[in-house]
């Protein structure tokens, strides 16, 4: 740094942060950990309640996970059959493999990945603005950049300005390109993974109208708590819900590969839901969890092993699907009320800010006829 005084302040802040991290690590090490990675049904449900205010039994959660997996599997078979007809194949033995192979075949080039993504965001912005089902601020945009090295483990991710940052700072969508030093085979595998349909579905989740649109709306909330704290069930539930919403609004019309990509991502999240419950409440082994991801989400073993292992250290990755299902339940409830409009529902949900699931539920389902300030405590 050119400013010596600023450099000294930064150094002091780094020392303070390092000391705090060391103290926290010492406190964690002093606690007596469990001998295994299994929470058990009671602790699992208690964690969900503590984090999101959700009261469920393990059996009820398992039932939801199984039902969603079955629904998505049936839809995947149907869409794969449509793709099979287009490519001259048949659904049946190998039919799903052929459909997913067709999905991976349509991929961006290494050199054009970022430009392709930027053009994709422009089209998605126009699509969602035209649908009118969620408010898109015309003055705030999201730029596309290559993922920095320290984040290169992600495929693509939205990065927003901090809640205490001054207004006007850029919003960024990071996309991970082919890495220097990769072989031609590794580069080809990466671009097959980041195929055009997959990239578009991720962009719906991360940007339009997923995390980016949510963050822009949340940044305008007056309360710091609703802007600064982040609860995954509403945030990830909303972003995951918008993938299905896109299909409902016609984004995949005449584009079965995009629909297949949306379903595969949904299957992956539903497998997380089922695997976490299996590992922590039913004695499911990691090998059984790995096979679940391979057979139901149609991903290779190396990715399936990582997904199953994640259940041991991130059991709440159930909230992607659980949050989506909750939002769909709220929508169904409100759709039966006079004067329901989908845009109003979405804007009210985003207007909650970054809150827990129980707070969002109370706010979204509140009587619309009460005075404007009646729900300000949320």
Question: How far is C-alpha 42 from the geometric centre of its chain's CA atoms?
Answer: 26
Q: DSSP H helical segments within 88-167, as ranges?
A: 95-105, 113-131
**Measured CA angle at 318 (ends 313, 322), to 5 deg:** 165
Average confidence (pLDDT) over 328-349: 95
Across 73-77, 95-99, 123-127, least confident range: 95-99
pLDDT for residue 93: 41
355: DSSP letter: -
pLDDT grade for 220, boundaries at 50, 70 and 90: confident
49 vs 166: CA distance, rounded Å: 34
pLDDT given for residue 219 in this prediction? 84
How large is the average pLDDT for residues 85-93? Answer: 51
Q: What is the mean pLDDT of residues 241-253?
A: 98
Alpha helix stretches (DSSP H) within 143-255:
184-193, 196-206, 211-218, 224-228, 232-248
pLDDT beyond 50 at 373: no
Q: How far is CA 28 from CA 7, 50, 341, in A?
A: 31, 20, 49
Q: What is the widest separation between alpha-carbon atoms in the chain?
A: 70
pLDDT of residue 228: 80
Q: Residue 98 and residue 90: Cα distance in Å, rounded?
A: 9
Q: Judge contact between 68 and 297, C-beta under 8 A.
A: no
Whether residue 57 is predicted with pLDDT greater than 80 in this model: the reply is yes
- Mean pLDDT value across residues 353-365: 93
Residue of 222 and 76 predicted with greater confidence: 76
Phi, psi for 215 (deg, rounded to 5): -65, -40
> Alpha-carbon distance 168 to 140, whole Å?
9
Per-residue pLDDT at 34 exceeds 70 = no
**Side-chain half-sphere of 232: how many Cα atoms within 13 Å?**
12
**Bond from prior residue into 209 cis (ω within 30 degrees of 0):** yes
**What backbone torsions phi and psi does residue 18 show, to the nearest 5 degrees?**
-65, -40
Residues 6 or more apart from 271 whose CB is under 8 A from it? 69, 292, 293, 296, 297, 307
CB 281, CB 40: distance < 8 Å: yes
**Lowest mean pLDDT: which of 158-167, 206-215, 238-247?**
158-167
Please say if the pLDDT value at position 271 is more than 90. yes
What is the pLDDT, as a whole number, of residue 92?
Answer: 45
- Which one is predicted more confidently, 223 or 254? 254
378 has a pLDDT exceeding 90: no
| Sheet of 156-159, strands arranged across | 142-146, 171-175, 156-159
Per cent of the chain over pLDDT 70 is 93
Task: Give tens-digit pLDDT for 162-205.
Answer: 888 888 899 999 999 998 888 999 899 899 989 999 999 999 99
Q: What is the pLDDT of residues 143-156, one digit of tens each?
A: 999 999 888 888 99
Token couple for 24:
């926290």
Mean residue pLDDT across the chain: 90
- What pLDDT, in 10s, does the model give residues 289-315? 999 999 999 988 888 998 999 999 999
Least Cα distance to 147 among 183, 190, 105 occurs for 190
Contact (CB, 8 A) for 66 and 274 = yes
Q: What is the mean pLDDT of residues 136-141?
A: 93
Task: Tell me what pLDDT residue 11 has.
Answer: 93
């Amino acid at each position: 740094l050119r400013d010596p005084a600023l450099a000294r302040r930064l150094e002091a802040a780094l020392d303070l942060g390092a000391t705090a991290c060391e103290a926290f690590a010492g406190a964690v090490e002093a606690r007596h950990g469990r001998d295994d990675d299994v929470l058990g049904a009671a602790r699992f449900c208690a964690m969900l309640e503590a984090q999101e205010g959700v009261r469920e039994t393990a059996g009820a959660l398992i039932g939801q996970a199984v039902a969603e997996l079955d629904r998505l599997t049936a839809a995947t078979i149907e869409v794969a059959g449509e793709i099979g007809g287009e490519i001259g194949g048949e659904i049946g033995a190998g039919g799903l493999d052929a459909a997913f192979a067709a999905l991976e075949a349509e991929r961006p080039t290494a050199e054009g990945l970022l430009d392709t993504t930027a053009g994709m965001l422009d089209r998605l912005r126009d699509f969602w603005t035209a649908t009118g089902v969620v408010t898109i601020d015309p003055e705030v945009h999201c730029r596309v950049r290559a993922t920095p090295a320290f984040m290169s483990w992600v495929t693509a991710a939205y990065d927003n300005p901090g809640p205490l940052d001054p207004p006007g700072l850029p919003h960024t969508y990071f996309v991970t390109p082919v890495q220097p030093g990769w072989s031609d085979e590794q580069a080809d595998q990466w671009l097959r993974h980041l195929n055009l349909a997959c990239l578009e579905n991720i962009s719906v989740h991360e940007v339009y109208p997923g995390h980016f649109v949510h963050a822009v709306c949340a940044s305008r909330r007056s309360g710091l708590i609703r802007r600064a704290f982040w609860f995954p069930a509403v945030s990830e539930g909303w972003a995951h819900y918008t993938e299905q919403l896109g299909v409902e609004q016609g984004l995949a019309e005449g584009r079965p590969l995009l629909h297949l990509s949306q379903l595969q991502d949904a299957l992956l999240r539903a497998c997380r839901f089922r695997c976490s419950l299996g590992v922590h409440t039913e004695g499911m082994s990691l090998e059984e969890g790995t096979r679940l991801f391979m057979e139901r989400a149609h991903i290779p073993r190396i990715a399936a092993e990582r997904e199953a292992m994640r259940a041991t250290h991130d059991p709440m990755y159930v909230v992607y699907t659980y949050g989506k299902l909750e939002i769909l339940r709220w929508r169904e409830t409100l759709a039966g009320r006079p004067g329901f409009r989908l845009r109003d529902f979405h804007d009210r949900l985003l207007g909650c800010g970054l809150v827990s699931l129980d707070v969002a539920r109370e706010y979204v389902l509140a009587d619309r006829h009460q005075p404007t300030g009646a729900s300000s405590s949320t």
